[in-house]
Copies of this chain bind each other. A is one copy, B any other.
Amino acid sequence: MDGFSFSTDVKVRFAETDAQGIAHNSNYFVWFEVARVEYLERYAGGYQRLRDLGIEAVVLETHVRYLEPARFDDRLIVHARCLDVRGARFRYEYAIERGGSVIADGWTAHATVDAETMRPTRVPSWLTEAISAAESWSSPT
């Protein structure tokens, strides 16, 4: 998908549906997280690498637009890109695609924090560089 460096896919679990017969709105944040975890694994040695340094990435803000319902057993492609890495902050943007249509999109804002104090700490330079490398192909020249 245009402008996205990364995608992974999830299948809608039965447990993720609700009595409206569709995936409950709260699951999209879980799928976004699955995408972030795999993004970090692919490009930057995994989320655990951050945790091993005593750093956690916390969520500051989340946003989703639900364009069409997702249903049980749907195979969804979760596109994600990381951007705006500055100091302790960074953002992800997402588009969820099913059969060629975008059925939801959204973004999340994050900060890296010291796991002990929960105070902001700069995104480690190796991570900034890994993100920068991962996203460079999609940058305008």
Contact = CB atoms under 8 A, between A and B. Distances in A.
Nearest to A18: B17
Number of identical monomers bound together in the oligomeric complex: 4
A25 interface: yes
Interface of A: 13-15, 17-22, 24-27, 29-30, 33-34, 37, 46-48, 56, 58-66, 69, 72-73, 115, 118
A37 B34 CA distance: 20
A66 B59 CA distance: 7
B63 A58 contact: no
A86 to B, nearest CB: 18
Count chain B CB atoms within 10 A of each CB in A20, A27, A46, A48 and give the residue with the most.
A20
A53 B48 CA distance: 27
Contacts of A21: 19
Nearest to A57: B20
A17 B19 contact: yes
Given A66-B61, A73-B46, A29 B18 contact: no
B37 A73 contact: yes
B61 A20 contact: no
Given A19-B19, A25-B29, A26-B15, A62 B64 contact: yes
A18 B14 contact: yes
B15 A30 contact: yes
B19 A30 contact: no
